Structure 1
Amino acid sequence: MTKQLNVSIGQYSDKGRKALNQDFYGSLIPEEPLLSSKGIAIALADGISSSQVSQIASETAVKGFLTDYFSTSEAWSVKTSAQSVLLAVNSWLFAQTRRSQYRYNKDKGYVCTFSSLVLKSTTAHLFHAGDSRIYRIAASQNSLEQLTEDHRTWLSKEESFLSRALGVKDQLEIDYQTHRLDMGDVFVLATDGIYEFVDDTKMVELIRQYAADLDIAAKAIVDEAYHQGSDDNLTVQLLRVESLPDYDENEVYQQMTTLPFPPRLEARMQFDGYEILRDIHNSSRSHVYLARDLETQQQVVLKVPSIDLREDAAYLQRFLLEEWIARRIDHANVLKPSAQNRKRHYLYITTEYIEGQTLAQWVLDNPKPDVEMVRKIIEQIAKGLRAFHRLEMLHQDIRPNNVMIDQSGTVKIIDFGSTRVAGLTEIANPLNQPDLLGTAQYTAPEYFVGEAGSTRSDQFSLAVIAYQLLSGRLPYGTQVAKIRTRADQRKLNYRSVLEEDRDTPVWIDEALRKALQPEPMKRYREISEFIFDLRHPNLVFLNKTRAPLMERNPVLFWKSVSLVFFLTTVYLLIK
């Protein structure tokens, strides 16, 4: 049986010799599917003694983090999810101080330290600000390893202050690091009231002594700190890794195919509550049909796995991922899945039916579109792409065949078979599947030298489409697919769209030149900047003039010169 991530947790907190406990702690182990997509979270916050309200800050930080982290998109990475939540918590705490009587003295405001551990798949993600600590006792060792750095500035041996914490400033700087997990690893989260009074050896001894019950171990550590004279609040959390995901490829394959594959579908056939109307597209990768839902009478697109690839577990994983992605993106310019109102008895995907044509067909029907029409198409594709990017997804296969234009002129991105999801790449993949590239002519050069894609890679593909619409050709032809080294990448030579006599403004050509730079970092930082420059003349580009005909088209230049010489000769002979 496939193992899940499993941990044991022990926690204990006491006000100690103080009148009020300003520490706060918590942990959350969700059920599936959040256990796999988001992981397990444990957090600790320590209020500062100079504030009478920092216990509110501690409670808000821990509760807010544990609640909101698991509410973030499953597509987001752990880092993006956690940092987004912590930035929001920090802003709230800072605003509370600004609105209170403590606005001129931050040391009396809503301030606390914060340390958190998120375990996802086989990786530990640490987030830290302040002087609480996170330690690890590796399974193969018997000593404490401090993983976090104390954010405390010492003025003297007796006097110091926190240099970083939640609620101190409107901007939050938080440490982030990752560590590979091993079964048996123990993590310790402790406030300064603990680690300043319990030495490392004694802490390890108590954890080993009460290994059968980590709650008892945590209380024993707190008691030890108290007996050693700690005059602060006392909080410690213990987490031990009991098991890690240990996938078996055959088992994963069986889980993905618990539903039987559909039979061969034909027109007029009734299948799982649908009536098959006709084929839309059949290829070696999938079979796509137009169907009618017999219950709602709505037309839908039904996509079934390729017959030739049904033994390929990696292919099936990507196939199932398409619907997962579609259900998490709600945007007018992205294909949406159809509502699933009844139990499914076979393995297939259903999506909305778009009555229209692919951009590839539209280009054939409109070989020389005007600049404004090109802008409208590219802007809509860009809006769809930004919906992917906001969820930390890269489409990775933007090309004319993966863009539809419906009868109202609305443009929609389709086919998510190559999409990369940041949140899922953090999960150990038993299939060891590489990223799937799109069509070579539209794929960014960095993919061909083995680099990971970015939003600038999708920007490149979008710019290729814009270039093609304005010129009728591709900016680098087939040369992109031949790239194997960075040297090859630098040899790509941009051909101006101005070589085609279509009255394209010079500044649009310069915008395309930038978006199509072979080096990703030389492109626009955001797709929105590229779109803006397609509609608004960039002052930098306006200073450039149209290149002379000899540079743009040497052959046409010399033909023109030859014609002039010929006509001059004929004129002189006649005269």
Structure 2
Amino acid sequence: MTKSNRLSINLASHSEKGLKEINEDAVGFFVPTEDRLLEGKGIILAVADGVSSAEAGKDASETAVKRFIDDYYPTPDTWSVKHAGQKLLSNINITLFKRSHEFANEEKGYLTTFSGLVIKSRTCHLFHVGDSRAYLFRNNELKQLTRDHVASIATGRSFLARAVGMDNCLQIDYSTVDLEDNDLLLATSDGIHDFLELDKLTEILSLNISEQEKIDLLAKTAFDNGSDDNISGVIAQVNQLPNESLNDYNSKLLRLPFPPPLDPGVKLDGYKVIKELFASSRSQLYLVEDTDSGEQMVMKTPSITFEEDTGYIDRFIQEEWIGKRISSEYVVKIIEQKRPRTCLYYLMEYVHGISMDKWMKQNHFPKPKVAISIIEKIAKGLAEFHKTETIHQDLKPANILIDTHNNIKIVDFGSVFVAGLAEIFIPLEHEGVLGTATYSDPKYLLGKNTGIQGDLYALATISYELFCGKLPYGEKIEECQTAFEYDRLRYIPANEVNPVIPMWFDRTLQRGVAFDLEERYENIDEFLTDLKNPNPVYLRDDPKVTKNKSQVLFWQLLSGFWILMLILVIAMFKQG
């Protein structure tokens, strides 16, 4: 996420005891410094008003605000904001409820109101319990976003009908607001809003002063108007919203119709179809030309078979969104639309090359330097996925394009998993298609999200095939459906298939494709290091440091320095 596309908000808070002996209100906010958290989790602001008659209101309000902020960011990335916020508040509620019952004989209760706002992407998620309030100030108009959970009695008095810690089952008001640049969000305890008319709130928020000056002035004015309660509030001024999120894409693109099959010569939104490049049961790829610029690109369209399948449509829309987040010379580039779309499709750069599975058939046992170079480029492409908390999950030769200069492009975002999105992890299905079951991590295929280690397994499998022309567990892996069937497979040593391969190189490949995650490399950099340089551990474990001339030739081709390194390693062990 570029600096110019970051969520930017000014925050300010104020909390004081007022005329009361102690301050039982609590306010807080948090802005992540990491772009990953800012984009994936958002910004939090909260106000809680401890119930003074419950004797433990101060502890209750501070616990609610602190735990909501502290516990929100470590929640699983697969949880939605709604799910995370509701689960956290429910847990906080149970904690306070149990504390209250510990002091049942002393009539000491841990009760508090709570209004929490999570600002993520272009949306404000609101969690509310009690009579604290949240407002939206936009275009000089103030709108209350919450409703007070109070009940009136015959004498005209009212009491709090809902609070955190009041019952073992908590009812939470949840809502969302689509934000705009220059919006202002305000959350207050009743020590402010019960003593300021709506017109006065609007007048102060309209002033051309800083956010801190505004919240301080709101507190002072409430006090001057006779506030006899604690006085607290927090303000969030939206300076800049990021570009559209996946949800924003969905809301717009879901309304677009599917395009029909496109014949050569047909024009769609200013793009002329030259030819069909690929077609499957799930999508079509067309080579098209921009009629304005003459630029050639690839248009991907969804299969009309899934026109009523909202899950498929969501996934198709997600592909474009994911591609736009990744910028690498080793990953196919998604092209920004220059004109409004009348149908559902997206555009990619046109790569002049062939898929890696075809390339390997034409280039049996490529030179080690060439093979290692290709592996490194694939790894660099994967690194860009991983920087954005994104896992490819379906890396295979058919999803890698190679041009005449052995440059590569990773393609296909259809199975990508993005941390932080509101989606359930769904493993690839066995469809009998060569590539999916062959290169994907068996743990992943059986339902476990193995993250970076899953992509590493695929990379190691491709590396093995580059040097051996075969698969590390043989062709039977394509037929495996259960954990038992995978357990029956045995790794085929690379140097049995290709005698030129030294033992340490084989050990690296074996560890890269290990089914057991404890044995497999944890990251790609470590795998590449051992692939390019003899790991002393593997040399030490091998009683026969081979001097076969073909292996020496292999090392020389792989790196001009490897023989020297080997001598240094042996010398080191002799000294030890």
TM-score range (shorter-chain normalised) is 0.5 to 0.7
1:165-205 deviations in Å (ceiling 9; x for gaps): xxxxxxxxxxxxxxxx998656999xxxxxxxxxxxxxx96
Task: Tell me the equivalent position of 1:340.
Answer: 337
Structure 1 pair 308–338 and aligned structure 2 pair: CA distance change class (3 A)? same
- The question of whether the paired residues in 2 share the 8 Å contact of 1:507 and 1:541 is answered with yes
2:15 corresponds, among 13, 16, 20, to 13
1:357-410 deviations in Å (ceiling 9; x for gaps): 111111011012122111111111111111111211110101000001123322
| Mapping 1:366-515, distance limit 5 Å | 366-424=363-421, 427=422, 429=423, 434-437=426-429, 439-483=436-480, 486-501=483-498, 503-515=500-512
Equivalents in 1 of 2:396, 2:509: separation in Å? 16
- The question of whether the paired residues in 2 share the 8 Å contact of 1:357 and 1:406 is answered with yes
Equivalents in 2 of 1:505, 1:423: separation in Å? 42
1:279 corresponds, among 273, 276, 279, to 276
Superposed CA RMSD in Å reads: 4.9
2:44 corresponds, among 18, 41, 44, to 41
Task: Tell me the equivalent position of 2:258.
Answer: 261
Q: Shift of residue 304 of structure 1?
A: 0.5
1:213-252 deviations in Å (ceiling 9; x for gaps): 98353659999xx9xxxxxx985889xxxxxxxxxxxxx9
TM-score of the superposed pair, with normalisation by structure 1: 0.58
Equivalents in 1 of 2:545, 2:28: separation in Å? 70
- The question of whether the paired residues in 2 share the 8 Å contact of 1:323 and 1:349 is answered with yes
- The question of whether the paired residues in 1 share the 8 Å contact of 2:278 and 2:285 is answered with yes
Task: Tell me the equivalent position of 1:177.
Answer: none
Q: Shift of residue 464 of structure 1?
A: 0.6
Task: Tell me the equivalent position of 1:54.
Answer: none
Task: Tell me the equivalent position of 1:122.
Answer: 83
SS at match of 1:416: coil
- The question of whether the paired residues in 1 share the 8 Å contact of 2:297 and 2:350 is answered with yes
Structure 1 pair 509–308 and aligned structure 2 pair: CA distance change class (3 A)? same
**Amino acid of the residue matched to residue 41 of structure 1?**
I
Structure 1 pair 341–546 and aligned structure 2 pair: CA distance change class (3 A)? farther
1:526 corresponds, among 523, 526, 547, to 523
Equivalents in 2 of 1:78, 1:414: separation in Å? 34
Equivalents in 1 of 2:472, 2:511: separation in Å? 12
Structure 1 pair 44–389 and aligned structure 2 pair: CA distance change class (3 A)? farther
Equivalents in 1 of 2:410, 2:314: separation in Å? 21
Equivalents in 1 of 2:447, 2:498: separation in Å? 37
Equivalents in 2 of 1:135, 1:471: separation in Å? 54
Structure 1 pair 484–398 and aligned structure 2 pair: CA distance change class (3 A)? same
Higher mean Cα deviation, 445-454 or 359-368? 445-454
Q: Is the counterpart of residue 352 in structure 1 residue 349 in structure 2?
A: yes
Identity of aligned residues (%): 33
Q: Shift of residue 480 of structure 1?
A: 3.5
Structure 1 pair 505–44 and aligned structure 2 pair: CA distance change class (3 A)? farther
Equivalents in 1 of 2:81, 2:418: separation in Å? 15
Unaligned runs of 5+ in 2: 1-12, 32-36, 49-64, 101-124, 134-157, 164-171, 174-185, 196-218, 224-229, 236-248, 430-434, 547-576
**Amino acid of the residue matched to residue 79 of structure 1?**
Y
SS at match of 1:521: coil
| Mapping 1:9-408, distance limit 5 Å | 13-14=15-16, 25-26=28-29, 38=41, 41-42=44-45, 79=73, 120-124=81-85, 136-137=92-93, 144=97, 208=162, 215-217=188-190, 256-408=253-405
Structure 1 pair 460–282 and aligned structure 2 pair: CA distance change class (3 A)? same
Equivalents in 2 of 1:121, 1:134: separation in Å? 12
- The question of whether the paired residues in 2 share the 8 Å contact of 1:12 and 1:215 is answered with no
Equivalents in 1 of 2:350, 2:513: separation in Å? 33
Equivalents in 2 of 1:266, 1:400: separation in Å? 28
Equivalents in 1 of 2:127, 2:74: separation in Å? 26
Q: Shift of residue 79 of structure 1?
A: 3.5
**Amino acid of the residue matched to residue 355 of structure 1?**
H
TM-score of the superposed pair, with normalisation by structure 2: 0.57
- The question of whether the paired residues in 2 share the 8 Å contact of 1:134 and 1:188 is answered with no
Higher mean Cα deviation, 451-460 or 34-43? 34-43
**Amino acid of the residue matched to residue 44 of structure 2?**
A
1:125-173 deviations in Å (ceiling 9; x for gaps): 899xxxxx998458xx9x75679xxxxxxxxxxxxxxxxxxxxxxxxxx
Equivalents in 1 of 2:280, 2:269: separation in Å? 22
Equivalents in 2 of 1:183, 1:339: separation in Å? 36
SS at match of 2:498: coil
1:64-97 deviations in Å (ceiling 9; x for gaps): x99xx9xxxxxxx9737999xxxxxxxxxxxxxx
Structure 1 pair 296–339 and aligned structure 2 pair: CA distance change class (3 A)? farther
- The question of whether the paired residues in 1 share the 8 Å contact of 2:274 and 2:286 is answered with yes
1:506-533 deviations in Å (ceiling 9; x for gaps): 2111100111111122111111100111
SS at match of 2:528: helix
Equivalents in 2 of 1:312, 1:82: separation in Å? 27
